[in-house]
């Protein structure tokens, strides 16, 4: 096991498996956030869906592929998708404007990286424990 495989997984994994996981994380969180907010009258809801998807997505991806960089990207994409879902219900801002605002604010990206990375570390640790038990 090398540092490269811990960060990026097996050859071509970040492209063939990681990119779809990142896109699915963003789309899923956008839909979940829009669905959650459509039933409420207003107010700001902390993106719990993004936290859950970031942790679970990072855990599952690291458990399977040991790719911490992709896990972090899954977490950031979850928060970006959550932001898109929020603006789909409460804001009239276009998608590109929402993404530019998201990219210019370091806090949600840092939170996404934190939860995706935490899920990734937990997934990698679980993989090691399971491999030791077998």
Name the residue among 119, 18, 120, 40 with its Cα closest to residue 85: 40
What predicted TM-score, i.e. pTM, was given to this entire model?
0.87
Name the average pLDDT for the chain.
87
Question: What's the sign of the alpha-carbon dihedral 120, 124, 125, 127?
Answer: positive
pLDDT at position 99? 82
Average pLDDT over residues 80-102: 80
- Cα 109 from Cα 79, distance rounded (Å): 7
Using the predicted structure, report yes or no on whether residue 70 has a pLDDT greater than 80. yes
What CA–CA distance (Å, rounded) separates 122 from 110? Answer: 18
């Amino acid at each position: 096991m090398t540092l490269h495989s811990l960060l990026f997984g097996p050859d071509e994994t970040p492209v063939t498996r990681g990119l779809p996981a990142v896109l699915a994380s963003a789309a899923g969180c956008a839909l979940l956030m829009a669905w959650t907010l459509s039933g409420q009258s207003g107010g700001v809801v902390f993106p719990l869906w993004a936290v859950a998807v970031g942790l679970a997505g990072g855990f599952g991806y690291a458990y399977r592929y040991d790719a911490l960089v992709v896990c972090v990207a899954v977490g950031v994409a979850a928060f970006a998708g959550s932001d898109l879902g929020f603006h789909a219900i409460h804001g009239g801002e276009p998608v590109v404007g929402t993404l530019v605002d998201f990219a210019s604010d370091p806090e949600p990206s840092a939170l996404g990286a934190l939860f995706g990375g935490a899920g990734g570390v937990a997934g990698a640790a679980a993989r090691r424990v399971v491999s030791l038990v077998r």
